[in-house]
A and B are shown apart, each in its own frame.
Chain A
Amino acid sequence: MSDSGSKESKSRDVDGDQVTSGDSIESKVDFIAIASRFWYSSRWFLLFIGLLVVAFRVTNSMDPNWGRLANTNNNLVTFFQESLWPPDWSVIEAQAYPPCLAAPGLSFTCSTAWLGMIETLKIAFVATILGMTISFPLSLLASRNLSPNWVSYPARFLLAGSRSLPSIIWALFFVIVIGFGPLSGILAMTVYTIGYLGKLQYETIEGIDRGPLEASKAMGHGWFERSFGVILPESANGLISQVIFMFEYNFRHGTVIGIVGAGGIGYYINLYLKFLQYDKVIAYLIIIFIVVLILDVVSIYARSLFTEDGDVRRPSWWSILLPPSMLRNKED
């Protein structure tokens, strides 16, 4: 700046030293450049921090009384020691009535835990199959790359309607309409499956490459051929994977809908909750947790058969269950 100093207007700083306004402009420009560079490079992080601050402020606005958190530890220990532990495993013993006709080693199949679990699995299976059967045509109608707006929006409206209520509310509704039992559970889970799976499916369909659809349209295929000849095979892997996920999801939720009398293991959980027999409730919850883990492993394997990675190398059962270090020894 020395060569242009003569042209710049002079001013004095707080100590009385003479400085040029050109220097101050330059430092200001530098500061702006650094700040904008900092903002650009860390904008997502800053945005995330901003969201956290907003969430904290919103919680505060609801007057949460943070002091209550102080007793959490004591309450948890007391509840755990006095009510939950040890679990009462009598839930996997055969019921006194009706008489158990199973072989001696299989008497657990007459227990409430087994019967409830099997019923929940049945509800989840039937609801997934029925839900998929109805949701697929609806998702075809709801896809904007396949159907005009006047068809896709009403279809989306239907799907949104059926998933806007959680499955437990649908279960309550069907218990009122048709009474207690697994049929109410099946219908409740089916309605919810239609909405949830339908949304996943139409998003998958809308996400497929437009090339095959355009080629099909140019050749003169109709809606039916485009749906079943192009869309179905192109998105089949994703759709099957979603159905498997939905079965797992329905099982987890099937344990809850029993609480309102819609069948399954939730019925027994609700029963023992009412009698304050938490040791039995925790036994049921442990069983549910184990079955969910097993289903999760089966689901990972089953879905791997329908993803593109599966073409290259499908995971073995061991690769899901064991850590990589042990896996290498196993493969050797």
Chain B
Amino acid sequence: MSKSVIHLENASIGFSPDNPLIKNLNLDVNQGEIVAIAGPSGIGKTTLLRTIAGLVPMLDGEMTLFGRNSKASRGELGYIPQRLGLIRHASVYHNVLLGALTSTAGAWFPFSFEARRRTLESIDAMGISEKKRTPIRLLSGGQQRRVATARTLAQQPSIILADEFLGELDEETMESVLSKVTNYVRTNNATLIVVEHDISRAKRMADHLLILDDGQLNPFVDQPIAMQISMRLDKELDI
């Protein structure tokens, strides 16, 4: 039986207690699962990920990670924000190294040969070796997404939270990046929660597709009501 790594119970998520974005949310994500979350813009998908990442305090309810009632430990959780969170003036190598250091070196002694090896491997896996020394600001949007993914893979976390990390990638690169990430998750029995706008892509990559609407998270089912939500999404996103 799989172990639950993320557990939310009666969780209220948002910024104002009077008007939370998500109310009474119950969510269980098991080890080794890939969960995609879709929903209209501004509904709280990103805030949900940031809450799980420990960046936004929960308004109400209970959250446990790995059965513990505390934030993830150092290096346990990898986060790819919507705007990627890369250091624009630093090189690709530096950005990826920051990910690798969290699971290979102590906070006060940030030098590790293992981190260097892992960094170079991840950069190579994302096909951006020739850009290793290039500052992030000089890369294209797609290349920056690959760097953010490489940073997370170099970190080797147990949970990956990815916020629309496949946007701006051409079809071929997208397939390659997606296969690297899903391979990592399957091989290491890690957990991936991904916010994805493209329903068909989300269905293809995820074990479970959840739709966030009206402050509730519901499983996506191919029934008229689900179709309506999907159509509404498509319309909103102008797909």
**Which residues in A have some Cβ–Cβ distance to B below 8 Å?**
209, 211-222, 224-225, 229-230, 233-237, 308, 311
Q: A215-B86, A221-B74, A234-B90 are in contact. List 6 more A-B contacts (CB 8 A).
A: A214-B53, A214-B81, A216-B85, A217-B55, A222-B108, A225-B98
Closest to A214 in B: B55
The residue that A218 contacts in the complex, of B84, B86, B110, B161, with Cβ under 8 A, is B161
Stretch at the interface among B99-107, B193-201, B202-210: B99-107
The answer to whether A212 and B107 touch across the interface, beta carbons within 8 angstroms, is: no
Instruction: Collect the chain B residues with CB atoms within 8 Å of residue A209's CB.
Output: 83, 88
B49 CB to closest chain A CB (Å) equals 9
The answer to whether B72 and A215 touch across the interface, beta carbons within 8 angstroms, is: no
The answer to whether A233 and B72 touch across the interface, beta carbons within 8 angstroms, is: no
Closest to A215 in B: B85
B34 CB within 8 Å of chain A: no
- Bound CA–CA A163/B204 (angstroms): 60
The answer to whether B81 and A216 touch across the interface, beta carbons within 8 angstroms, is: no
B227 CB within 8 Å of chain A: no
The answer to whether A219 and B75 touch across the interface, beta carbons within 8 angstroms, is: yes
The answer to whether B74 and A220 touch across the interface, beta carbons within 8 angstroms, is: yes
Q: What are the nearest 6 A-B pairs in CB distance? A: A215-B85, A220-B74, A218-B79, A211-B85, A222-B107, A233-B90
A-B contact pairs, 25 of them (CB 8 A): A209-B83, A211-B85, A211-B86, A215-B79, A215-B85, A215-B148, A217-B54, A217-B55, A218-B53, A218-B78, A218-B79, A219-B75, A219-B78, A219-B98, A219-B157, A220-B76, A220-B102, A229-B101, A230-B87, A230-B98, A233-B87, A234-B89, A308-B137, A311-B135, A311-B138
The answer to whether B54 and A218 touch across the interface, beta carbons within 8 angstroms, is: yes
Would you list which residues of chain B between 42 and 56 have a CB under 8 Å from chain A?
50, 53-55
Main SS at interface, chain A: helix
The answer to whether A219 and B77 touch across the interface, beta carbons within 8 angstroms, is: yes
**Which residues in B have some Cβ–Cβ distance to A below 8 Å?**
50, 53-55, 72-81, 83-90, 94, 98-99, 101-102, 107-108, 110, 135, 137-138, 148, 151, 155, 157, 161
A105 CB to closest chain B CB (Å) equals 46
Instruction: Collect the chain B residues with CB atoms within 8 Å of residue A230's CB.
Output: 87, 98
The answer to whether A221 and B84 touch across the interface, beta carbons within 8 angstroms, is: no
Instruction: Collect the chain B residues with CB atoms within 8 Å of residue A217's CB.
Output: 54-55
Query: Which residue, of A212, A217, A221, A230, has the highest number of chain B Cβ atoms within 10 A?
Result: A212
Given contacts A229-B98, A311-B137, contact A234 B161 (CB under 8 A): no
Closest to A236 in B: B89
- Bound CA–CA A211/B86 (angstroms): 7
Main SS at interface, chain B: loop
The residue that B81 contacts in the complex, of A215, A222, A229, A308, with Cβ under 8 A, is A215
B154 CB to closest chain A CB (Å) equals 10
Given contacts A224-B107, A230-B98, A308-B137, contact A219 B50 (CB under 8 A): no
Instruction: Collect the chain A residues with CB atoms within 8 Å of residue B135's CB.
Output: 311
Instruction: Collect the chain A residues with CB atoms within 8 Å of residue B79's CB.
Output: 214-215, 218-219
- Bound CA–CA A214/B81 (angstroms): 8
The residue that B85 contacts in the complex, of A212, A222, A225, A311, with Cβ under 8 A, is A212
Instruction: Collect the chain A residues with CB atoms within 8 Å of residue B53's CB.
Output: 214, 218
- Bound CA–CA A107/B133 (angstroms): 50
B63 CB to closest chain A CB (Å) equals 14
Instruction: Collect the chain B residues with CB atoms within 8 Å of residue A237's CB.
Output: 89
The answer to whether A229 and B110 touch across the interface, beta carbons within 8 angstroms, is: yes
- Bound CA–CA A222/B79 (angstroms): 16
- Bound CA–CA A163/B128 (angstroms): 47
Instruction: Collect the chain A residues with CB atoms within 8 Å of residue B98's CB.
Output: 216, 219, 221, 225, 229-230
Query: Which residue, of A209, A222, A233, A234, has the highest number of chain B Cβ atoms within 10 A?
Result: A233
- Bound CA–CA A229/B85 (angstroms): 13
- Bound CA–CA A220/B98 (angstroms): 10
The answer to whether A211 and B102 touch across the interface, beta carbons within 8 angstroms, is: no
Closest to A238 in B: B89
Given contacts A233-B87, A234-B87, contact A214 B108 (CB under 8 A): no
The answer to whether A220 and B75 touch across the interface, beta carbons within 8 angstroms, is: yes
Instruction: Collect the chain A residues with CB atoms within 8 Å of residue B155's CB.
Output: 219
The residue that A233 contacts in the complex, of B50, B77, B83, B94, with Cβ under 8 A, is B94
B147 CB to closest chain A CB (Å) equals 11
Instruction: Collect the chain B residues with CB atoms within 8 Å of residue A212's CB.
Output: 85-87
Instruction: Collect the chain B residues with CB atoms within 8 Å of residue A233's CB.
Output: 87, 89-90, 94
Closest to B78 in A: A219
- Bound CA–CA A155/B47 (angstroms): 32
Instruction: Collect the chain A residues with CB atoms within 8 Å of residue B138's CB.
Output: 311
- Bound CA–CA A218/B79 (angstroms): 6
Instruction: Collect the chain B residues with CB atoms within 8 Å of residue A225's CB.
Output: 98, 101, 107, 110
Instruction: Collect the chain B residues with CB atoms within 8 Å of residue A219's CB.
Output: 74-75, 77-79, 98-99, 102, 155, 157
Closest to B105 in A: A225
B69 CB to closest chain A CB (Å) equals 17
A211 CB to closest chain B CB (Å) equals 4
Instruction: Collect the chain B residues with CB atoms within 8 Å of residue A222's CB.
Output: 74, 107-108
Closest to A308 in B: B137
